[in-house]
Amino acid sequence: MASFAATLGVIILSGFIDLTAANKDTCDLHALVGQSLTLPSVFKGLANSDVLRWTHNSTIILYRDKGKVTVGKSTDISATGSLLLKNLKFSSAGAYQGDVLNSTGTLVKTWTGRLCMMDKVSKPQLTYMCDPKSSAVNLNCHVANPQGLVFSWTLNEKTLTSETRQTLSISLAQLQAERSFSCSVANKASSKEKSDTVRPTCKGPPPPVCFTSKTVVALLAGGAGLILFLLIIIIGLCCCHIRIKTQMRRRDEGEMRMLSLNKREPDSISPEYETMHPNVDSTPNSSPGDCYMTVTQPEAQTENRPAQLATAAEGLRPSPVPKPRTKSPQTPNI
């Protein structure tokens, strides 16, 4: 039981500490370094006999009693008791409290608030990157310290109220027409800066290819005609090749036949030819004409050898038997 109570006490104490820290980090007012700020406290019915006291982090920074200012400057107090802070610094941040007491020292009214100091925002730089895979363009509003800043976007000088992030994604289909983008950053101290205008130049996705039924039929017909034309050309080339090859084979066979006929040796003279054409040298009485015939016959045979070979191939038809030459009676010399 005691351990349970101790655990519960630790939990409650932790929650109280967290709540106190959260309240401490909460800012009621925001101001920029170097500017002036009037604490918005209004004390209606403030009289000169009342005591006005302002503190910063429990340190008195202004005290006025019966119209006399002993701490601070009277020029920093308004008629309603508001305090004017000039030339603020980072050290000016913290808790402020204003109290009004009557002549008896009784607290009449009080105001408390926490001031947070912020620096001026720098001018943002707007960049973009095309992403063809997702068919989009990604824009980035780059700034040095983005924490605590509020982002806004404009498209063609019109504010996109739904876009408050540091990045913006636009589909490429929306960039078909000319689009101009800009971004702005601001902090809670009302410091705002705007980037230069950017016009992304990303190429959109290619349009889908659509074919009508007539186009498909025309493409099929054209393809079939092309295939038929190629087949006709191939068949014609094959026929020409076969015909040329046949002619070359026939020419080669003719050349081989002629070569074999030219190389063939003449056959020996048959006995029948010797019977039909006796040798003139064996006859005892030969005339000069016979000698002429005997001498000229081999030359004629040499010149006409191809014709004789053709005749021999046909069977060597026998020539007519020459008639014996009759000698005229010699007349005695008187």
Which of 118, 145, 170 lies at the terminal end of a domain, its last residue?
118
Amino acid 319: pLDDT: 53
Q: pLDDT category, 19, cuts 50, 70, 90? A: very low
pLDDT of residue 258 exceeding 70: yes
Residues 96 and 166 in one domain: no
Q: Are 54 and 97 in contact (CB under 8 A)?
A: yes
**Closest-CA residue to 281 (of 303, 297, 266):** 297
Amino acid 184: pLDDT: 92
Residues 177 and 111 in one domain: no
Amino acid 276: pLDDT: 55
Residues 131 and 102 in one domain: no
In CATH, what number is assigned to the domain containing residue 165? 2.60.40.10
Amino acid 318: pLDDT: 52
Residues 166 and 82 in one domain: no
Q: Are 100 and 81 in contact (CB under 8 A)?
A: yes
**Closest-CA residue to 152 (of 126, 178, 129):** 126
pLDDT of residue 13 exceeding 70: no
Which of 177, 194, 211 lies at the terminal end of a domain, its last residue?
194
Residues 100 and 130 in one domain: no
Section 305-328 average pLDDT: 50
Residues 114 and 172 in one domain: no
Burial of 92 per CB tally in 10 Å (0-12, 13-18, 19+): middle
Q: pLDDT category, 265, cuts 50, 70, 90? A: low
Q: pLDDT category, 53, cuts 50, 70, 90? A: very high
Which of 140, 164, 194 lies at the terminal end of a domain, its last residue?
194
Amino acid 234: pLDDT: 92
Residues 32 and 95 in one domain: yes
The CA angle 253-259-262, to the nearest 5 degrees, is 145
Residues 132 and 165 in one domain: yes
Backbone angles phi, psi at 35, to 5 degrees: -95, 175
Structural domain including 31 reads 26-118
Residues 173 and 134 in one domain: yes
pLDDT single digits (tens) 153-170: 998 888 888 888 999 988
pLDDT single digits (tens) 25-45: 588 888 888 888 888 877 877
pLDDT single digits (tens) 270-316: 555 455 555 544 444 444 444 444 444 444 444 444 444 444 444 44
Residues 95 and 138 in one domain: no
Number of independent structural domains in the chain:
2
pLDDT single digits (tens) 83-106: 899 999 999 999 999 998 888 888
Q: pLDDT category, 4, cuts 50, 70, 90? A: very low
220 belongs to a structural domain: no
Amino acid 322: pLDDT: 57
305 belongs to a structural domain: no
pLDDT single digits (tens) 224-243: 888 988 989 999 888 888 88
Residues 36 and 114 in one domain: yes
